[in-house]
Amino acid sequence: MELLISGGTVITMDAEFRVIEDGAVLVRDDTIAEVGAGSTLAPRAVGAKTIDASGTIVMPGMINGHAHAAMSLFRGIAEDHSLDDWLQRYIFPAEGRNVTEDFVLWGTRLGVLEMLRGGITTFADMYYFEDVVAQVTHEAGIRGVLGETIVDFPAPDHKTPAAALAYAQEFIERWRNDPLVTPGVAPHSTYTLSTETLKATAALARRLGAPILIHIAEARFESERSHAKYGLSPVAYLESIGLLGPDVIGAHCIWVDKDDIATLIRRGVGAVHNPSSNMKLASGVMPVVEILASGGRVGLATDSAASNNNQDLFQEMNIAAKLQKVSRMDPRALPARQVVEMATIGGARALHLDHKIGSIEAGKQADLILIGTGATHSTPMYNVYSQLVYALNAHDVRTAIVAGRVVMENRVCLTLDKPAILEKAHEYQRKVAASLIAAPVV
């Protein structure tokens, strides 16, 4: 099966950051076979299915490095609270009352549909009933790095961390050879888990060769508690118990000092920036510039729709650039191309999948998106990276391809049933709202 995408401006995000005007990408099965000028590739692709990419930017599908997709059903249920308050008084109780397998099924469908519509072709997820998330990932034809969440208190799916770990083991063994799903385990954080559970989780992951997804140094209180309890920063504490390694994906990484950054980089930890969530919850500002300057693996993410309140990586690119500039009072900080990098090949590095995805290069998986450039808000265009970060938006994504399969074409998702998903979301909205009214969590 050959597919030729031809006529657009191809942003490769390869090592030379090649941009090919009137370029083409030839896909064979799930893999990129060739990238080059349209005039060179087209004659070689006789018989291939062709997608006319003229008037579009063709770029690597975007990589959402940290999400809780099912929480899309909680979009905007609690605002204007700090992370600690928001979790303990709103989110954890709301989850306890509402999160079932069915909730995760429909919530993940809603979240993944929004992601695909915004050009995200890979997402990293931490939630409960993660096997259901894997099923939806498969159904949607998106790529997922999926971690079953481990917490030390009763969770919606398991009453003990031991039960959750047993589930995680089965989950990883079931999905480990799937072409789209990379199954993993997600110890929630240093402040919701004992040293014992963290160690047991890391041991499980390493025994199975699975990634570890974890929130690291997100909030000031987390850093303070870690110092009070262990005499160490969250990063130093995780290092001291042997959790950090080249299989770890750490979300947030805000409350880190120079030594912590050196530790993260030495251990090959992926660091994922969530600017909207960090700003909205007033968690702080990740030192993205320092981590990148030191050679770190830095990705970009939406976090959940409960703290954002969307799954739009264009918005995160836009805000990431602006946040670094203003917080450092340096307009040159984090230029546009570097932001696009964080959303593509940088995100692949953070997820430890840069050998497979993140750039348009022969031999890589064919995860591609086409973005229309003809809208009022994106005319004129002087620089393609600037336009991606500061002018274009999720709605401009026309077509999404994952592993060579067209999953969205001209804004119609071919894999998920949008009307059914929206109807279920309305049902859950009424149920969740009633659960909050019946027993107010304030």
Binding to a second copy in span 251-290, by CB under 8 A? 276, 278-285
**102 in contact with a second copy (CB under 8 A):** no
Which of 177/430 has CB closer to a second copy?
430
Positions in 367-386 near a second copy (CB under 8 A): 374, 376-383, 386
Rounded to 10°, the helix 161-175/195-208 angle is 10
Which of the residues 333 through 352 are near a second copy (CB under 8 A)?
A: 333, 335-336
- Mask of contacts with a second copy, 295-314, x by CB under 8 A? ----------x--xxxxx--
Asked if residue 400 binds a second copy (CB under 8 A), the reply is no
Q: Kindly state the smallest distance separating residue 166's Cβ from a second copy, in Å.
A: 33
Q: Which of residues 132-191 bind a second copy (CB under 8 A)?
A: none
Instruction: Answer yes or no whether residue 433 interacts with a second copy by CB under 8 A.
Output: yes
Q: Are 10 and 34 in contact (CB under 8 A)?
A: no
Residues near 44 by beta carbon (within 8 Å), at least 6 away in sequence: 26, 34
| Site string (196-225) toward a second copy, x via CB under 8 A | ------------------------x-----
Q: How far apart are CA 53 and CA 176, in angstroms?
A: 34
Angstrom distances, CA of residue 211 to CA of 1, 208, 355:
32, 9, 15
Q: Tokens 């062709």 — which residue? A: 50
Please, which of residues 41-80 interact with a second copy by CB under 8 A?
Answer: 73, 75-77, 79-80
Query: How far, in Å, CA of 164 to CA of 157, rounded?
Result: 8
Q: Among 46, 228, 426, 438, which residue interacts with a second copy (rule: CB under 8 A)?
A: 426
Kindly provide the b/e burial profile for residues 49-88, where b requires at least 16 CB atoms within 10 angstroms of the residue's own CB: eebebeebbbbbbbbbbbbbbbbbbbbebbeebebeebbe
Nearer to a second copy, 50 or 327 (CB): 327
100 binds a second copy (CB under 8 A): no
Size of the chain in residues: 442
C-alpha 94/C-alpha 110 separation (Å) is 18
SS3 letters across 37-77: EHHHHHHHHCCCEEEECCCEEEEECEEEEEECHHHHHHCCC
The nearest distance, CB 98 to a second copy, in angstroms, is 12
Q: Does 322 help bind a second copy (rule: CB under 8 A)?
A: yes
**In the range 106-125, which residues lie near a second copy by CB under 8 A?**
110, 113-114, 117-118
How many residues interact with a second copy (rule CB under 8 A)?
Answer: 73
